[in-house]
Structure 1
Amino acid sequence: MQDPVFNFENLQVYQKSLDFVDLAYEVSRQFPKSELYNLTSQFKRASVSISLNIAEGAGDTDAQFNRFLQIAMDSIKECVVCSTIARRQNFIDVEQDNINRAKLTELSKMTGSLQRYLNKKVK
């Protein structure tokens, strides 16, 4: 029997968002234990939110999908702030912050492109 696959799982932006979740979990392991319920939790939740909103919106109407993509975009921005705070608090170095930002920039561009495509379809 073949593994069941949902349509949203074929979206490249969804796959990239899962890669970022893996990165966020890996990076947040470096944070101090005292941040477990603060920045660590927030960074993980925001990264997971990107994937969840892409999945939740896919397959719905284009307008609804666009709305969920906007929420995903907001979570991308949240992750940028989490990474910046982690760097400023010396939980991660500048190089790791730049890696995080590069991945988030890519996700932001992909999400924005999908939003523009959906907006053209709606009009």
Structure 2
Amino acid sequence: MSESKPDANEPSLDFERLDVYRLACEFQSLAFRAAARAGTVCRNELERASLSIVLNIAEGAGRRSAPEKARYYVIARGSATESAALLDVLARDGRISVSDVRAGRAQIIRIVHMLSRLVARWTGAGVA
């Protein structure tokens, strides 16, 4: 998936302007490719978890109240950490390449940090 920033002159939705959304889409593409080499259970879980990151970021961005935004970003962050664990499982099982694990983990770490900052912003807390 080759996502790019929306053209400044084109109308866009709130989530389309978030860097974390674009990064989550990139990770979701990597995860779907990696999942194709997994067994049924891990494939389903990795596809679901990686898609959940993307969808919860979009839904959170579309909410208007701060607590609702934070709630969806927390859910997305949980799905990101779940995805990291699934990459570990697939790596131990030899079903995913070391380069895919490294790339995926690097993306997930960035996603988790970005989501933590968004949660902190919408809860008024320090980095959550």
Q: Same fold (TM over 0.5)?
A: yes
Pick the structure with more helix per residue. 1
TM range (shorter): 0.7 to 0.9
Gaps of 5+ in 2: 1-8
- Quote the Cα distance in structure 2 between the aligned partners of 1:7 and 1:93: 35
Secondary structure of the corresponding residue to residue 124 of structure 2: helix
Q: Relative contact order: is structure 1 or structure 2 higher (C-alpha 8 Å, sep ≥ 6)? A: 1
2:30–2:100 CA contact under 8 A, matched in 1: no
The number of aligned residues is 116
For 1:29 and 1:4, locate their aligned partners in 2 and report how far apart those are by CA, in whole Å. 35
Identity %, equivalent residues: 29
Q: Which amino acid aligns with 1:50?
A: I
**Structure 1: which amino acid aligns with 2:29?**
D
Give the structure-1-normalised TM-score. 0.86
Within a 5 Å distance, the mapping from 1:93-108 to structure 2 comes to 93-108=97-112
Task: List gaps (5 residues or longer) in structure 1.
Answer: none
CA RMSD of aligned residues (A): 1.7
TM-score by length of 2: 0.82
Contact 2:28 2:50 in 1 (8 A): yes
Counterpart CA distance in 1 for 2:89 and 2:96 is 9
Shift of 1:41: 1.0
